[in-house]
Amino acid sequence: MEKLRELARNVTNLQITDAIDILLVATLFYILFSMIKGTRSAFVLRGLISLIFIGFFIYLIADFFNFLVLKRIFDRFWIIGILLFIVVFNPEIRRALAFLGQTRILGGLFLKGEYIDEIVKAAVEMSAKRIGGLIVFENETSLKSLSETGIEMDSNIKAEVIRTIFSPYTPLHDGAILIVGDRITAAGCIITQLTKRTDLSEDLGTRHRAAIGLTEETDAISLVISEETGTISYIRNGKMTRNLDEETLRRVLIRTFGIEKEQYGGFEK
């Protein structure tokens, strides 16, 4: 009961700094839930939080009735919650640490309007001919480990180069090409982290699942041209927009790379 009275005193003595502190913590939890919303991790986290609250409730009952053994068990129940969090969310923690370790202080998406045209041209022509392809754009997270799985390049972004790489008769057509800044830096790259989502359409093949998996673990952006249907898909943060036509694809890329109309030659196609 003493702890309950102490808790009541703390609540009545709240100051403005305490309110700000609580608001910041609530914001952090809101961001966390927003990031994992709709995934299996969200259900696991809710279950874990429920378990902690149940343990706290049992502790209050034990404290009220002075059940010494039960009170001693649940007095440090929050430690068990932390350990369970580390064990259950081990993959997510590893991905977050890898993201922080690979993130550059300076960098990010940058692409001139002329290169947008080349990418759109290549994607549309490949779509019409049912040529499959996967184009990855590096953002702030370094994709050096991905580039090392392919063949190093240093090429201008040209539609002809992209089409040639993904031609079914070339040895690099099954992998992804990596674009860093305004250069194609690697081709034939192999993405190993396929998404584990179970809510995806069955008609999505390895290219789509690899692209989704990569954007779930990094801030990269991917374009996928389906070999079976010719559809063009844009993927960012694990979310996919399918069936893009030429105009929509161009608008999406212009918005992604923050290109102003003046930088794009002052016109819209």
Let me know whether 54 and 119 are in one domain: no
Let me know whether 164 and 240 are in one domain: yes
Residue 104 lies in a domain: no
Let me know whether 78 and 130 are in one domain: no
Residue 266 lies in a domain: no
Looking at 54, 88, 122, the residue that finishes a domain is 88
Let me know whether 68 and 185 are in one domain: no
Let me know whether 41 and 123 are in one domain: no
**Could you please report the per-residue DSSP string of 84-149?**
HHHHHTHHHHHHHHHHHHHB-SS------HHHHHHHHHHHHHHHHTT--EEEEE--SB--HHHHTT
Let me know whether 124 and 233 are in one domain: yes
Per-residue pLDDT of the chain in tens (269 residues, 90 and over written 9): 555 566 556 656 667 786 787 788 788 777 666 655 555 566 666 777 777 778 778 878 887 888 887 777 777 766 777 777 777 666 666 656 655 554 444 445 556 678 899 999 999 999 999 999 999 999 888 888 899 999 999 999 999 999 999 998 888 888 999 999 889 999 999 998 889 888 888 878 889 999 999 999 888 999 999 999 999 999 999 999 999 999 999 999 988 886 544 444 433 43
Let me know whether 62 and 146 are in one domain: no
Let me know whether 251 and 123 are in one domain: yes
Q: In this structure, what CATH number is given to the domain that contains residue 140?
A: 3.40.1700.10
Residue 175 lies in a domain: yes
Cβ–Cβ under 8 Å, residues 150 and 178: yes
Predicted local distance difference test score (pLDDT) of residue 34? 63
Predicted local distance difference test score (pLDDT) of residue 146? 92
Let me know whether 118 and 42 are in one domain: no
**Could you please report the per-residue DSSP string of 97-108?**
HHHHHHB-SS--
Let me know whether 140 and 51 are in one domain: no
Predicted local distance difference test score (pLDDT) of residue 155? 92
CA nearest 121: which of 154, 153, 162, 156?
Answer: 162
Let me know whether 38 and 143 are in one domain: no
Residue 205 lies in a domain: yes
Round to whole Å and give the CA distance between 233 and 20.
42
Structure tokens at 23: 């608001």
Let me know whether 50 and 130 are in one domain: no
Write the single-letter amino acid at 187.
A
Predicted local distance difference test score (pLDDT) of residue 51? 76
Residue 80 lies in a domain: yes
Predicted local distance difference test score (pLDDT) of residue 189? 95
Residue 264 lies in a domain: no
Residue 103 lies in a domain: no
Expressed as residue numbers, the domain containing 36 is 2-88
Predicted local distance difference test score (pLDDT) of residue 149? 93
Looking at 55, 88, 121, the residue that finishes a domain is 88
Q: How many domains are there within the chain?
A: 2
Predicted local distance difference test score (pLDDT) of residue 221? 93
